[in-house]
Structure 1
Amino acid sequence: MDRRYFKTGLLLAALIGMSQKAEAQKKNDFNNPALTHYFNEQHSRYISFSGYAELWARYTQLNPGSMVNNDAKSDLSDLSLRRVRVKMTYKPTEKLMFVLQGGTTNVNVNAKGSNYFDLLDAYAEYAFNDKIAFGAGRSTWRGLSRFTTGPLNTLLYDLPAYATSNAGATDYTVRELSAYIKGQLGKFDYRLVVADPYTMATADPKPNVSTFSKNSPHKDFSGYFRYAFLDTENISTPFNSGTYVGKKNVLSLGAGFDYIHNALWHQDTAKNTVNDDMKSFAVDLFYDAPLNQEKGTSVSAYAMAMHNDYGPNYVRYVGTNNPATSVDASLASLNGAGNAMPVIGTGNTYYVQLGGTLPYFNKEKKNLQLQPAVGVQLSDLKALHDNAVIYDAGVSLLMNGMSSRLTFDAQNRPVFTGDAANNAVVSDRKWQFVLKYRIDFN
């Protein structure tokens, strides 16, 4: 046997043995050793691996005129991979951390040629102390609101639609090349981010309707500030938890902003091109607390108010994991193809979410319980005559805490069309039913 392979085998065996010894007391939700190897006894230097996968089985009532591979469809059942993520966190010193994450998003039957396992995150962070840390690279570090950065332990089947409003327009899967500072001062934490947004606009300016500009984009400035009245929350990653299932007692008030100079454009009445700034402001309140720890019951609530200014009459219709490939223009609504709906625009958006965990089926094992939840989004947008109201109701079966859960969600969305006076009004409502399974590893 080659001595190099023999030595490598011995080294790997030693590392595995050291890891098992170091992590003997640290377990994940499956009661298995965590995928973390510590380099010192203080556990301040380590390398860890984590990730998750989300599988959707869905039935969707499609918007008018929707086409799937040139066939007109009014509804559709499909399977898809909503998200797959694999992450490595390397902390060689107490102050330095490097994060690398790859994955794929929205793998469905209509996306076989466009989904790859992509590099999503690659950034480094240096922490001077708990009060201030600096990071740079490609990441989801952003400001504005609690859920702007993406999903972590969502109470419903997915994030509320408004949360990642510019996803795919100025970023890539909510990622930008950015630099940030963050910190925690007692009960107060903050993040401030400056990023280079992507340019993905393809349309010329339209009369009195703003769209994202083709011009070279200006910097994206955002921030989020939060005060914890009870327990503080972990700020080591950009993601904020949607629920702690009663493991923490949290009441936090947050406020944030997002600003890009001349991000959009439109034509005025004289057909002159006018540039528009993107300005967004939000405040939110999050509450999560145990009710009876012995029974496993808990409550979780979230409320948010956001003001967006994208210029005149801007509204964005988005279909999450959209199963349609195109739309027949002669039959189309303002929503467009598939399951698209108005999620953000110039105007105000309000969101409320409420849920919690019910008692364990077996109090001794503490690994099976139900988590019902409801959510309502109301958007009062300048370009729409009627308010856009989106309803969600669902229930999750937590099999191994939040690391293995099955979620059923029913969503009802509005369909907008133009009336005789050319006002955007709700002409119909459509349903979407999603059965999601998510498994985490860490």
Structure 2
Amino acid sequence: MKKKYIKIGTVVLLAFLGVNKMNAQEKKNDFGNPPLIHYLNDEHTRSISLSGYAEAWARYTQLNPGSMINDQNKSESADLSLRRIRVKMTYKPTEKLTFVLQGGATNVNANQKGVNNFELLDAYGEYKFSNAIQFGAGRSTWRGLSRFTTGPLNTLLYDLPAYATSNAGITDATVRELSAYLKGQIGKFDYRLVVADPYTNLMADPKLNVATVSKNATNKDFSGYFRYAFFDTENISSPFNSGTYMGKKKVLSVGAGFDYIHNLMWHKDELDVTKNDDMKNFAVDVFYDAPINKEKGTSISAYAMAMHNDYGPNYVRYVGTNNPATGVNSANASLNGAGNAMPIIGTGNTYFLQVGGTLPYFNKQKNDMQLQPAASVQLSDLKGLKDNAVIYDAGVSLLFNKMSSRLTFDAQNRPIFTNDGGNAVATDRKWQFVLKYRIDIS
């Protein structure tokens, strides 16, 4: 079996090493190298390509009250991890047909001992009837709601805001669902409409006046996102949206989206009767990215979002991204739970603002390294919390080869909620510091 995989890998490698000489004249990537693409015809309309990326974290975290690593109480943690590893193949056998296959690993840290983390992520095909109508189906991140619901691409800070993929691990697997979608671009307008079979994770028995994920069979997940570009249009070949173009484009886009699942949640009322609740999420957002001085390489990027979520009464979800803790001591735990968990979504309203940009090149003759500072704030006014949940992030990236090789430092400050007479109140705040390196393969 191992010999079989070695042969397959050798064939793929030789295919790319044997890329025809025309590829050497193609547009270079950020490293100044030819892209990892092999054209199947002289017109360059049919191809097979490889891409991917890797993100490594070095992190210091002030842990939530009651956090444990293995069986030991801990108030802080310093760890190394692989946040994401992705390897992607895109195959275009015809001008109309595209097939995408992607595998990878997510949140590989010391707490996942003995776990095989490399898994199938995406496997879907897409047929292009025209620019206005394109149909795809399979397992993918194609979904609606907001600009960043699909996951990360060229983020200004160390990671996407947690609210953006707030259903991760509940109705999806690593932000993926089995789905079919329609998408298209008509002039300055583009859209996506998705119907998916949600996964069933983190189910619980109904609680009094607090919605939880139902144990009943799940219904279809309907979502969509609609966007208008006032200046340059954006590429819709991928489900991911860029967090910054570093001023290479002038983009002002306004978007709106939704995500709906019938009877996803349930709760018990005062008469001990179980009531079903729909998940109804709506969002509007604005994205702006433009050059300030192209010769110096300076640019500005900004993003604002307002989202209304309805999961049923008093629903609040606490999540710790790439959580360094393994458990929590309930005797002195907060409502946040273990590690770096914080309230990221729930029934109510969430607002997000992020601003950043690139500073002048260190050496403008070579257009090489530059700094990219950024900051964000997220405010969530949730029915299940007495106080607002406010999360701050600020950081700076050192861009070695534009966005394809970059080192990012991020400082995050999050609230800690405790139960005060039946009310969830913010009683403390904790810090997390992340040093991330990302390299892109293209």
TM-score for the superposition, normalised by structure 1: 0.96
SS in 2 for 1:362: coil
Shift of 1:41: 2.4
Query: CA RMSD for the aligned pairs?
Result: 1.4
1:163 match: secondary structure: helix
Q: Aligned partners of 2:340 and 2:100: how far apart in 1?
A: 34
Q: Residue 317 of structure 1 aligns with which residue?
A: 318
Please list, as runs of the form range in 1=range in 2, the aligned pairs for 1:33-432 lying within 5 A after superposition: 33-419=34-420, 421-432=421-432
Letter in 1 for 2:429: R
Q: Distance in 2 between matches of 1:405 and 1:153?
A: 10
Which consecutive residues of structure 1, in runs of 5 or more, have no partner in the other structure? 1-8
The share of aligned pairs that are identical, in percent, is 76
User: In structure 2, what is the equivalent of residue 437 of structure 1?
Assistant: 437
Which residue identity is paired with 2:308?
A: H
Moved more, 406-415 or 105-114: 105-114
Deviations 1:164-188 (A, max 9, x none): 0100011000000000000000000
Distance 1:428 1:136, change over 3 A: same
Which residue matches 2:5? Answer: none
Deviation at 1:10, TM superposition (A): 12
For residues 99 and 269 of structure 2, what CA distance do their matches in structure 1 show?
47
Within 1, Cα distance between the matches of 2:305 and 2:108?
30
Distance of 2:12 and 2:58 partners within structure 1: 44
Aligned-partner Cα distance in 2 for 1:58–1:42: 47
2:268 and 2:351 map into 1 onto residues whose CA distance is: 29
Q: 1:64 to 1:14 in 2, by over 3 A?
A: closer
SS in 1 for 2:20: helix
CA 1:441–1:415: 2 relative to 1, 3 Å: same
Structure 1 CA distance for aligned equivalents of residues 353 and 337 of structure 2? 26
TM-score, scaled relative to structure 2? 0.96
Instruction: Tell me by how many angstroms 1:203 deviates.
Output: 1.6
Residue in 1 that maps onto 2:7: none
The residue that corresponds to 1:6 in the other structure is none
Cα distance in structure 2, aligned partners of 1:324 and 1:136: 37
Instruction: Tell me the CA shift for residue 161 of structure 1.
Output: 1.1
1:18 offset after TM fit, Å?
4.3
Give CA-to-partner distance per residue, 1:302-348, whole Å, 9 cap, x none.
00000000000000000000010000001000000000000000000
| C-alpha separation in 2, matches of 1:293 and 1:25 | 23
Q: Secondary structure at the match of 2:25?
A: coil
Corresponding residue SS for 1:162: helix
Specify the code of the residue in structure 2 equivalent to 1:355: G
- 1:422, distance to aligned residue in structure 2 (A): 1.7
TM superposition shift of 1:23: 4.0
Post-superposition offset of 1:16? 4.0
Q: Which moved more, 1:263-272 or 1:53-62?
A: 263-272
Give, in angstroms, the shift of residue 367 of structure 1. Answer: 1.8
Alpha-carbon offset, residue 113 of structure 1: 3.1
Alpha-carbon distance in 1 for matches of 2:381, 2:13: 59
1:48-104 Cα offsets, whole Å, 9 max, x none, are: 000000000000000000000010000000000000000000000000000000000
Matched residue type, 1:379: S
Q: Residue type of the partner of 2:399?
A: L
Relative to structure 1, the CA distance from residue 331 to residue 40 in structure 2 (aligned partners, 3 Å threshold; closer, same or farther) is same
Post-superposition CA distance 1:226-249 (Å, at most 9, x none): 000000000000000000011111
CA deviation after TM superposition for structure 1 residue 286, in Å: 0.1
- Tell me by how many angstroms 1:17 deviates: 4.4
Cα pair 2:16 2:37 within 8 Å, conserved: no
How far apart are residue 396 of structure 1 and its match?
0.0
CA displacement 1:283-306 (0-9 Å, x = unmatched): 000000010010000000000000
